[in-house]
Structure 1
């Protein structure tokens, strides 16, 4: 991973190792989960939820401590912060609404953060590195596990709920960022690191493009699970 004190570099060794781990871990969890009996599957899901909370809650508490407090960074207001909370909720309950949010956030928005990480931090084992990658890794693993191992499926109702919740969050962040001088969700300005937003124009144009592209992508991710099969006609 590199000596302690080295800065994290996008597409350096640690970045590639983590991306491989995310994909490989997702596949392994799905394969293992499919072999679990239904009665044991609930225990697996709840144990997974405890792992998600056990990793993220102490780090959240650490960020809120006086010595670490920064209004621009410490509050759990990024979508990736909400995603781990939704992941724990979905794993514990296996309900449709949290799974829909986890499915869309975890399999579209979280991978963007993995591909173009907004991480200005020393490399492993710095706490910022561990927090960033552990948080995103667990969200993607949970989304894959619940969808392809447990068998939860997105629906058009879940699609629209997710669109509405995400739009409400984005609107709230615009107001909060303006009042607090922050940039949660990167809705008030683009991140400093290169990202897909660079292809979408300036502010506020990129917000409108992001909404259109995001809704289209989520619709494409919903359609395969909801399309009805054509009836077979006998010759």
Structure 2
């Protein structure tokens, strides 16, 4: 008998939410205590790649391939790539993308998961939660553990990149009948998008709310005391 289906805010969901917090705090403490963070950052980057790349290759195999689902075009897919980039290089720009995507969009995906699969240990379950957990942990580790900080230039870059991605996904979805990024229609599961009106209005509301939230997340690091 296989595992039961994943139920939002069931036992496994609450356990994973707790794991987000515990793992983030632990990594922040680790980052502040170690003297040379470079090797740890690179090891973390390899962990992110080691988890996600084999799963990506698996999704691209003939038995799994579906242009509407298999490509790594959701923003959370791009987030793990940016996380590996930021961890390996410790550069300001990839960190800015990781900071904004990983601390606002990724948590939202975990609070209202668009996951229609059996519970643990089903591969879809492990892939979804592992991918999102690693992104949030990487953002917390680099920001509060190693001392990297976002700035207004990184804010502007993140807005431009995110808008460009959304426009590209609208075109791609229209061509192939997909819904990457949920920019062409809302997910079937309840989400914060339900509070933002119908399509395409929720995209405009999401942009305004997102820009305001990102600005608030930038201001504490840039204000002059």
TM over 0.5: yes
Picking from 28, 44, 50, the partner of 1:30 is 28
Which consecutive segments of 4 or more residues in structure 1 shift more than 6 A?
A: none
**1:232 matched residue in structure 2:** none
- Can you give the 5+ residue segments of structure 1 that lack an aligned partner in the other structure? 230-235
Larger radius of gyration: 1
Deviation of 1:5 after TM superposition, in Å, equals 2.5
The size of the alignment, in residue pairs, is 225
- Can you give the 5+ residue segments of structure 2 that lack an aligned partner in the other structure? none
What do you get for the CA RMSD once the two structures are aligned? 0.7
TM-score, length basis structure 1: 0.95
**2:75 matched residue in structure 1:** 79
Is residue 132 from structure 1 mapped to residue 128 from structure 2 by the alignment? yes
Contact 1:91 1:146 in 2 (8 A): yes
Q: Distance in 2 between matches of 1:5 and 1:151?
A: 41
Contact 1:4 1:123 in 2 (8 A): no
Deviation of 1:32 after TM superposition, in Å, equals 1.1
**1:19 matched residue in structure 2:** 17
Task: Spell out, residue by residue over 1:22-61, the C-alpha distance to the aligned partner (whole angstroms, 9 max, x if none).
Answer: 1110000100110000xx3100000000000000000000
Tell me, what secondary structure is at the counterpart of 2:37? helix
**1:183 matched residue in structure 2:** 179
Q: Distance in 1 between matches of 2:56 and 2:99?
A: 23
**1:233 matched residue in structure 2:** none
Q: Distance in 2 between matches of 1:20 and 1:4?
A: 25
Q: Distance in 1 between matches of 2:132 and 2:98?
A: 12
Tell me, what secondary structure is at the counterpart of 1:122? coil
Contact 1:4 1:124 in 2 (8 A): no
**1:6 matched residue in structure 2:** 4
